[in-house]
Amino acid sequence: MRREGASLRYAARMPRALWNGATLAQADADAVQIVEGNVYFPPEAVDHTYLRESRTQTVCPWKGTASYYDVVVDREVNRDAAWYYAAPKPKAAHIAGHVAFWKGVIVGND
């Protein structure tokens, strides 16, 4: 059963991000944002001990400038495997500071 206002595909479940045996992020379904098929976790749901600032930045025409993190677990590095928009454009303001993952990071439900 889908709760009113819950994110599609993640209704009534707790999405989390996993890589190399570590839980990088975990949040209630209604706390994440889904944008273009990517799950954006709120900053407080992310275990920042696994993230290391990267110098990489990219620009999205409607979201703005994305900054990246390397994901580091047990000394293994997954370069630029997480990203966030510190100061997104107005249409993407709802994902400010939220973190999304890719490059082999598994994002799914418990």
Average pLDDT over residues 11-39: 92
Residue 19 CA from chain centroid, whole number: 13
Cα angle 31, 4, 1 (rounded to 5 degrees) comes to 100
Q: What is the pLDDT of residues 62-92, one digit of tens each?
A: 999 999 999 999 999 999 999 999 999 999 9
DSSP string across 7-56: PTTSTTS-EEEEETTEEEEE--GGG-EEETTEEEBPGGGB-GGGEEEEEE
Domain ranges of the chain: 15-109
How many residues does this entry show for the chain? 110
> What tokens were used for 27?
């949040």
Name the more confident of 97 and 9. Answer: 97
Q: Is 2.170.150.40 the CATH classification of the domain at 15-109? A: yes
Residue appearing with tokens 């949040």: 27
Q: What is the pLDDT of residues 45-61, one digit of tens each?
A: 999 999 999 999 999 99
